[in-house]
Amino acid sequence: MGPSWCGPRPAPSPAVPLGDSTVDCYVLAERWPSNNDLCVTVNHLVEPDGCPPITLVEFSLLTPSMPDASTPRSDYSDTERQIFDAALQVFAREGRHGARMQAIADAADINKAMLHYYFRDKKTLYEEVFAHTVRRFMASFGESLEEAPTFEETLRVFIDGYVEFVRSDEAAMRLMVQENLAGGSLLGKHLREATKSGEAPPQILVDTIAAASEAGEIRSVDPHHTVLSVISTCLFFFVARPTVEIMHPDAAGDWGAFVEVRKEHLFDLIYHGLAP
Protein backbone atom coordinates (compact mmCIF):
# COMPACT_ATOMS: atom_id res chain seq x y z
CA MET A 1 0.00 0.00 0.00
CA GLY A 2 1.60 3.23 -1.15
CA PRO A 3 1.55 6.51 0.70
CA SER A 4 -1.10 9.13 0.15
CA TRP A 5 -0.07 12.73 -0.40
CA CYS A 6 -0.45 15.21 2.43
CA GLY A 7 -1.32 17.77 -0.23
CA PRO A 8 -0.93 18.29 -3.98
CA ARG A 9 2.46 17.67 -5.49
CA PRO A 10 4.17 21.06 -5.62
CA ALA A 11 5.91 22.51 -8.63
CA PRO A 12 9.69 22.89 -8.38
CA SER A 13 10.78 25.81 -6.26
CA PRO A 14 13.03 28.48 -7.72
CA ALA A 15 16.69 27.49 -8.06
CA VAL A 16 18.56 27.68 -4.77
CA PRO A 17 22.30 27.52 -4.04
CA LEU A 18 23.85 24.33 -2.64
CA GLY A 19 27.55 24.76 -1.99
CA ASP A 20 29.11 25.81 -5.31
CA SER A 21 26.10 24.66 -7.34
CA THR A 22 22.63 25.93 -8.01
CA VAL A 23 19.85 23.36 -7.72
CA ASP A 24 16.12 23.10 -8.15
CA CYS A 25 14.34 21.88 -5.02
CA TYR A 26 11.18 19.80 -4.99
CA VAL A 27 9.44 19.29 -1.64
CA LEU A 28 7.07 16.34 -1.52
CA ALA A 29 5.20 15.49 1.68
CA GLU A 30 3.83 11.97 2.04
CA ARG A 31 1.70 10.41 4.77
CA TRP A 32 2.70 7.12 6.23
CA PRO A 33 -0.13 4.69 5.46
CA SER A 34 0.06 3.29 9.00
CA ASN A 35 -0.77 6.58 10.68
CA ASN A 36 -2.37 9.73 9.32
CA ASP A 37 -0.42 11.93 11.70
CA LEU A 38 3.10 10.95 10.60
CA CYS A 39 4.72 12.46 7.51
CA VAL A 40 7.84 11.84 5.51
CA THR A 41 9.11 14.94 3.75
CA VAL A 42 11.24 14.06 0.71
CA ASN A 43 13.37 16.85 -0.70
CA HIS A 44 14.70 16.15 -4.19
CA LEU A 45 17.61 18.45 -5.01
CA VAL A 46 18.15 18.22 -8.77
CA GLU A 47 21.23 19.81 -10.34
CA PRO A 48 20.76 21.56 -13.70
CA ASP A 49 23.49 19.61 -15.51
CA GLY A 50 21.55 16.38 -15.18
CA CYS A 51 23.67 14.81 -12.45
CA PRO A 52 21.92 12.29 -10.19
CA PRO A 53 19.60 14.06 -7.75
CA ILE A 54 20.38 14.41 -4.07
CA THR A 55 17.47 13.14 -2.00
CA LEU A 56 17.06 14.26 1.60
CA VAL A 57 14.44 12.49 3.70
CA GLU A 58 13.04 14.16 6.81
CA PHE A 59 10.76 12.33 9.24
CA SER A 60 8.31 14.63 10.96
CA LEU A 61 4.91 14.82 12.59
CA LEU A 62 2.02 16.83 11.31
CA THR A 63 1.29 19.48 13.91
CA PRO A 64 -2.19 18.94 15.34
CA SER A 65 -4.31 21.56 17.00
CA MET A 66 -3.79 20.71 20.63
CA PRO A 67 -7.07 20.33 22.53
CA ASP A 68 -7.85 22.42 25.55
CA ALA A 69 -10.53 22.25 28.19
CA SER A 70 -13.04 24.06 25.98
CA THR A 71 -12.55 21.94 22.86
CA PRO A 72 -15.70 19.99 21.92
CA ARG A 73 -15.04 16.31 21.32
CA SER A 74 -16.39 16.67 17.77
CA ASP A 75 -13.45 18.99 17.02
CA TYR A 76 -10.80 16.46 17.99
CA SER A 77 -8.91 14.48 15.37
CA ASP A 78 -9.57 10.75 15.05
CA THR A 79 -6.31 10.02 16.85
CA GLU A 80 -7.16 12.37 19.72
CA ARG A 81 -10.57 10.75 20.18
CA GLN A 82 -8.94 7.32 20.07
CA ILE A 83 -6.49 8.34 22.78
CA PHE A 84 -9.18 10.08 24.78
CA ASP A 85 -11.52 7.09 24.86
CA ALA A 86 -8.73 4.71 25.81
CA ALA A 87 -7.51 7.06 28.55
CA LEU A 88 -10.99 7.35 30.06
CA GLN A 89 -11.19 3.57 30.44
CA VAL A 90 -7.69 3.27 31.94
CA PHE A 91 -8.08 6.21 34.33
CA ALA A 92 -11.50 4.94 35.42
CA ARG A 93 -10.06 1.51 36.15
CA GLU A 94 -6.67 2.44 37.63
CA GLY A 95 -7.15 5.98 38.93
CA ARG A 96 -5.01 9.02 38.25
CA HIS A 97 -1.94 7.71 40.04
CA GLY A 98 -2.25 4.05 39.09
CA ALA A 99 -2.71 4.60 35.35
CA ARG A 100 0.33 4.26 33.09
CA MET A 101 0.88 6.04 29.79
CA GLN A 102 2.03 2.77 28.21
CA ALA A 103 -1.27 1.12 29.16
CA ILE A 104 -3.17 4.02 27.58
CA ALA A 105 -1.06 3.81 24.42
CA ASP A 106 -1.70 0.07 24.21
CA ALA A 107 -5.44 0.57 24.69
CA ALA A 108 -5.45 3.24 21.97
CA ASP A 109 -3.41 0.98 19.66
CA ILE A 110 -0.67 3.56 19.17
CA ASN A 111 2.93 3.79 20.31
CA LYS A 112 3.91 5.68 23.42
CA ALA A 113 5.82 8.35 21.48
CA MET A 114 2.65 9.25 19.59
CA LEU A 115 0.70 9.46 22.84
CA HIS A 116 3.25 11.89 24.30
CA TYR A 117 3.12 13.94 21.12
CA TYR A 118 -0.57 14.67 21.58
CA PHE A 119 -0.52 14.86 25.39
CA ARG A 120 2.90 15.72 26.74
CA ASP A 121 2.39 13.97 30.07
CA LYS A 122 -0.12 12.01 32.12
CA LYS A 123 -1.23 15.06 34.09
CA THR A 124 -2.19 16.93 30.91
CA LEU A 125 -4.09 13.95 29.55
CA TYR A 126 -5.89 13.28 32.82
CA GLU A 127 -6.98 16.89 33.17
CA GLU A 128 -8.37 16.92 29.63
CA VAL A 129 -10.25 13.64 30.14
CA PHE A 130 -11.65 14.82 33.45
CA ALA A 131 -12.62 18.27 32.13
CA HIS A 132 -14.56 16.70 29.29
CA THR A 133 -16.32 14.31 31.68
CA VAL A 134 -17.44 17.24 33.85
CA ARG A 135 -18.65 19.12 30.76
CA ARG A 136 -20.66 16.10 29.69
CA PHE A 137 -22.24 15.88 33.13
CA MET A 138 -23.23 19.55 33.06
CA ALA A 139 -24.61 19.26 29.54
CA SER A 140 -26.53 16.03 30.21
CA PHE A 141 -29.33 17.98 31.91
CA GLY A 142 -29.69 20.40 29.02
CA GLU A 143 -31.88 23.39 29.87
CA SER A 144 -34.61 21.27 31.41
CA LEU A 145 -33.32 21.66 34.98
CA GLU A 146 -33.30 25.46 34.91
CA GLU A 147 -36.63 25.61 33.08
CA ALA A 148 -38.50 23.26 35.44
CA PRO A 149 -41.44 25.32 36.80
CA THR A 150 -41.84 23.63 40.21
CA PHE A 151 -39.80 21.91 42.88
CA GLU A 152 -41.47 18.61 41.99
CA GLU A 153 -40.42 18.88 38.36
CA THR A 154 -36.91 20.06 39.25
CA LEU A 155 -36.39 17.08 41.54
CA ARG A 156 -37.65 14.65 38.91
CA VAL A 157 -35.43 16.14 36.18
CA PHE A 158 -32.38 16.04 38.48
CA ILE A 159 -32.88 12.39 39.43
CA ASP A 160 -33.54 11.33 35.84
CA GLY A 161 -30.59 13.33 34.50
CA TYR A 162 -28.13 12.11 37.12
CA VAL A 163 -29.10 8.45 36.82
CA GLU A 164 -29.12 8.52 33.02
CA PHE A 165 -25.70 10.16 32.88
CA VAL A 166 -24.20 7.43 35.05
CA ARG A 167 -26.04 4.66 33.21
CA SER A 168 -24.90 5.94 29.80
CA ASP A 169 -21.20 5.95 30.74
CA GLU A 170 -20.21 4.02 33.83
CA ALA A 171 -16.53 4.67 33.04
CA ALA A 172 -17.21 8.37 33.62
CA MET A 173 -18.86 7.52 36.94
CA ARG A 174 -15.87 5.41 37.99
CA LEU A 175 -13.55 8.26 37.01
CA MET A 176 -15.46 10.60 39.33
CA VAL A 177 -15.25 8.06 42.15
CA GLN A 178 -11.51 7.59 41.57
CA GLU A 179 -10.98 11.37 41.63
CA ASN A 180 -12.78 11.59 44.97
CA LEU A 181 -10.66 8.78 46.39
CA ALA A 182 -7.53 10.62 45.23
CA GLY A 183 -8.50 13.79 47.11
CA GLY A 184 -10.85 15.45 44.64
CA SER A 185 -8.74 18.56 43.98
CA LEU A 186 -9.53 18.66 40.26
CA LEU A 187 -13.20 17.85 40.83
CA GLY A 188 -13.40 20.64 43.40
CA LYS A 189 -11.89 23.11 40.94
CA HIS A 190 -14.46 22.31 38.24
CA LEU A 191 -17.41 22.28 40.63
CA ARG A 192 -16.43 25.64 42.12
CA GLU A 193 -16.17 27.14 38.64
CA ALA A 194 -19.53 25.67 37.58
CA THR A 195 -21.19 26.78 40.82
CA LYS A 196 -19.85 30.32 40.41
CA SER A 197 -21.20 30.47 36.86
CA GLY A 198 -24.58 29.07 37.95
CA GLU A 199 -24.24 26.03 35.68
CA ALA A 200 -23.73 23.29 38.29
CA PRO A 201 -26.82 21.03 38.45
CA PRO A 202 -26.36 20.31 42.19
CA GLN A 203 -26.32 24.04 42.95
CA ILE A 204 -29.48 24.56 40.89
CA LEU A 205 -31.18 21.91 43.03
CA VAL A 206 -29.82 23.51 46.23
CA ASP A 207 -31.31 26.86 45.25
CA THR A 208 -34.63 25.27 44.29
CA ILE A 209 -34.90 23.42 47.61
CA ALA A 210 -34.08 26.59 49.54
CA ALA A 211 -36.76 28.54 47.67
CA ALA A 212 -39.36 25.77 48.07
CA SER A 213 -38.63 25.50 51.78
CA GLU A 214 -38.94 29.25 52.28
CA ALA A 215 -42.23 29.28 50.37
CA GLY A 216 -43.65 26.47 52.49
CA GLU A 217 -43.89 24.12 49.50
CA ILE A 218 -41.72 21.60 51.38
CA ARG A 219 -40.75 21.31 55.02
CA SER A 220 -37.76 23.18 56.38
CA VAL A 221 -34.56 21.29 55.56
CA ASP A 222 -30.90 22.05 54.99
CA PRO A 223 -30.64 22.32 51.17
CA HIS A 224 -27.01 21.19 50.99
CA HIS A 225 -27.53 18.10 53.14
CA THR A 226 -30.64 17.27 51.13
CA VAL A 227 -28.81 17.47 47.80
CA LEU A 228 -26.01 15.27 49.16
CA SER A 229 -28.66 12.70 50.09
CA VAL A 230 -30.22 12.89 46.63
CA ILE A 231 -26.86 12.43 44.89
CA SER A 232 -25.93 9.55 47.18
CA THR A 233 -29.12 7.66 46.43
CA CYS A 234 -28.70 8.24 42.68
CA LEU A 235 -25.11 7.01 42.66
CA PHE A 236 -24.83 4.25 45.24
CA PHE A 237 -26.62 1.46 43.40
CA PHE A 238 -24.27 1.88 40.41
CA VAL A 239 -21.12 1.93 42.55
CA ALA A 240 -22.28 -1.10 44.53
CA ARG A 241 -23.94 -2.94 41.64
CA PRO A 242 -22.57 -6.41 42.55
CA THR A 243 -23.96 -6.05 46.07
CA VAL A 244 -27.26 -4.69 44.76
CA GLU A 245 -27.64 -7.65 42.40
CA ILE A 246 -27.08 -10.06 45.30
CA MET A 247 -29.61 -8.27 47.50
CA HIS A 248 -32.16 -7.62 44.76
CA PRO A 249 -32.85 -10.52 42.34
CA ASP A 250 -34.69 -8.24 39.89
CA ALA A 251 -31.52 -6.18 39.40
CA ALA A 252 -29.54 -9.25 38.40
CA GLY A 253 -32.25 -10.39 36.01
CA ASP A 254 -32.88 -7.10 34.17
CA TRP A 255 -30.65 -4.21 35.17
CA GLY A 256 -32.27 -1.73 32.80
CA ALA A 257 -35.75 -2.36 34.16
CA PHE A 258 -34.40 -2.19 37.71
CA VAL A 259 -32.89 1.25 37.03
CA GLU A 260 -36.23 2.57 35.74
CA VAL A 261 -38.05 1.32 38.83
CA ARG A 262 -35.27 2.70 41.00
CA LYS A 263 -35.67 6.20 39.56
CA GLU A 264 -39.37 6.23 40.36
CA HIS A 265 -38.74 4.89 43.86
CA LEU A 266 -36.11 7.54 44.59
CA PHE A 267 -38.37 10.35 43.43
CA ASP A 268 -41.30 9.05 45.48
CA LEU A 269 -39.17 8.59 48.61
CA ILE A 270 -37.50 12.01 48.46
CA TYR A 271 -40.46 14.07 47.27
CA HIS A 272 -42.92 12.73 49.83
CA GLY A 273 -40.24 12.73 52.51
CA LEU A 274 -39.96 16.49 52.05
CA ALA A 275 -43.70 17.14 52.17
CA PRO A 276 -44.68 19.82 54.74
Mean pLDDT value of segment 33-43: 42
pLDDT tier at 62, thresholds 50, 70, 90: very low
Average pLDDT over residues 253-275: 96
Q: What is the mean pLDDT of residues 95-114?
A: 93
Average pLDDT in the chain: 78
- Residue 15 pLDDT > 60: no
Higher pLDDT, 74 or 18: 74
Mean pLDDT of 255-260: 96
Question: What phi and psi values does residue 110 have, to the nearest 5 degrees?
Answer: -135, 170
Amino acid (one-letter) located at 41: T
Range in 52-61, 87-96, 99-108, 201-210 the model is least confident about: 52-61
Reduced to 3 states (helix: H, G, I; strand: E, B; else coil), residue 264 is helix
**Close Cβ partners of 217 (under 8 Å, ≥ 6 residues apart):** 150, 151, 276
pLDDT of residue 138: 85
* Helical spans, DSSP H, in the chain: 78-98, 101-108, 112-118, 122-139, 144-147, 151-168, 170-181, 185-197, 201-214, 223-239, 241-247, 249-253, 255-273
The whole-number average pLDDT for the span 123-139 is 90
| pTM, entire model | 0.69
pLDDT (0 to 100) of residue 53: 52
Q: What are phi and psi of 215, to 5 degrees?
A: -85, -5
Is the pLDDT at 66 greater than 80, yes or no? no
pLDDT in tens, 157-191: 999 999 999 999 999 999 999 898 888 888 889 88
Position 25 confidence tier, pLDDT thresholds 50, 70, 90? very low
Most confidently modeled range among 43-52, 171-180, 265-274: 265-274
